[in-house]
Structure 1
Amino acid sequence: MGSTDHRSHAKGPLTLAFDIGGSHLKAGVLSPAGEMITERVRIVTPKPAKPEAVVEGLLSLADQLKQFDRITIGFPGVVRRGTVFTAPNLGNKLWNGFKLGAVIGDKLGKPVRILNDASVQGLGVIEGRGTECVITMGTGMGFAHFLDGRLAPHLELSQHPFKGGKDYDEYVGERALEKIGRKRWNKRVAKIIGVLETVVMYDALYIGGGNSRLIDLPLPANVRTVSNEAGITGGVRAWDQRMDHLFEAPPAAFAVAAEHTH
């Protein structure tokens, strides 16, 4: 697969899209239209998921895919302009301040854009009209919010206390599913859908992530599950002009304040 010439599939830049998860690292190469033109490759996320180990894993995936012009990374935490600030399901302290974009860009010699993983998944499924939300069910619960196709500032909803002292990650994440079983877990998912409807008043809600396939409950007409592959295929839209402002350098005063904060 690594030696295959992808250029015959489309004219324009090819995007190598990484999806970093608590259980697996995944990757694929996308055409300019967002179509997967390679098989999706994946490896188990290193344990412990130290930045250096994850970078090594990403490079091994890139080596299998070979030809690409730019890179998108979906990361499970707060990322701003290529720098990671939180990584709840990988190990916060190890990742805080890690310049993942610069490291991968330097290693592979290509431009890099990084967004929260739920945001990338959302870019792969939204229709671009009205208020659309995405939640991902995996190791934890990811969240992204869009208005008329424009990504809203990231809200790390997964870390917000939800019920009984548990945050959303603890309430419907992988560990909760294993502990309480599929039936009770589905009831919890239904509660979260209801809460988001009240708080966000979304026009559409998309549910992705590896555990979305386990959802077995009647969903409202404006709520649907989506393929987990969207966590990769959304990587092309990260390069749309409407996303440019997310990657521009901040004002100097803000940058200095951010350095002191973190």
Structure 2
Amino acid sequence: MEIFGVDIGGSGIKGAPVDLDRGVLAEERYKVLTPQPSEPEAVVDAVRQVVDKFQWKGPIGITFPGVVVDGRTLTAANVDQGWIGQDARALFAAATGCKTAVVNDADAAGIAEVAFGAARGRKGVVLLLTLGTGIGSALFTDGVLVPNTELGHLELHGKDAEKHASSGARERHEWSWKHWAEHLDDYFGMVDALFSPQLIVVGGGVSRKHDKFLPLLKPLRAEIVPAELQNDAGIVGAAMAARSLAL
């Protein structure tokens, strides 16, 4: 079965049809820049461009960088505040003409990694953290998702943790990998103490360069591994969230 997945990020919006039997992209993904400012009308139009590129007419799943409950976007930390309280599912469905599911971006990446990637078959508490413009999180117990955890907004040193430890913070401050790893130690140590996960999966675009920073981290009780689907995880998980729309 193929379902279309779209991943909305702070810097880019990318999408592709997904082969849900194998958990891989069925075609090369297409990406456009996230509009600035990232107001609803502009982002919806960008998503429509991505979907139209493939002339897709079936169900689509779309990630959103914030809390999503029943298709509504309730927070918007790294996109325009105009998203707060929007019926995103209705907006995207109207623009694309497709049946639509909307899911938190990190939750989408997490369900993909649990089904097809680094957390496949793992029992107990598993935490996926996406390091990008901000920090997204997906928390699982025995493979079951606890949605919308948004652990990037835990307070660390008096501010949102993602201001202290995201990949975006590393780029803004031009930190070395070693210096960034020290910030990650603070954050990973905090979530390890709070949730006692058996496994922490590190995702987001920077996971492609995991060899530059994961070996620098202090050991934790939790095993820390890079995401296997890397930056495709959001697209795959978005498509998985829309699977029921095709039945």
Indicate the TM-score class for this superposition, using the shorter chain for normalisation: 0.7 to 0.9
With 52-61 and 154-163 compared, the bigger mean Cα shift is at 154-163
Q: Does the CA contact (< 8 Å) of 1:16 and 1:68 recur in 2?
A: no
Determine the structure 1 residue equivalent to 2:162.
169
Determine the structure 2 residue equivalent to 1:83.
72
Structure 1 length-normalised TM: 0.81
Deviation at 1:231, TM superposition (A): 1.3
Deviation at 1:24, TM superposition (A): 0.4
Q: Give the secondary structure class of the aligned counterpart of 2:149.
A: coil
Say which structure, 1 or 2, has more relative contact order (CA 8 Å, 6+ apart): 2
1:1-262 → structure 2 map (5 Å cutoff): 12=1, 14-33=2-21, 34-92=23-81, 94-126=82-114, 127-128=120-121, 129-163=123-157, 165-178=158-171, 179-182=173-176, 183-215=178-210, 216-218=213-215, 222-226=223-227, 227-239=230-242
Structure 2: gaps of 5 or more residues: 115-119
Deviations 1:99-153 (A, max 9, x none): 1111111222322111110000011112252211111111011111011221113
Give identity over the alignment, percent. Answer: 33
Deviation at 1:19, TM superposition (A): 0.6
Deviation at 1:186, TM superposition (A): 1.4
Structure 2 length-normalised TM: 0.85
Deviations 1:179-201 (A, max 9, x none): 15132111111222222221111
Which of these two proteins has the greater Rg computed from alpha carbons?
1
Distance 2:55 2:30 in 1: 12
Distance 1:71 1:85 in 2: 20
Deviation at 1:239, TM superposition (A): 4.2
Determine the structure 2 residue equivalent to 1:259.
none
Deviations 1:10-36 (A, max 9, x none): xx3x21111101000010111231321
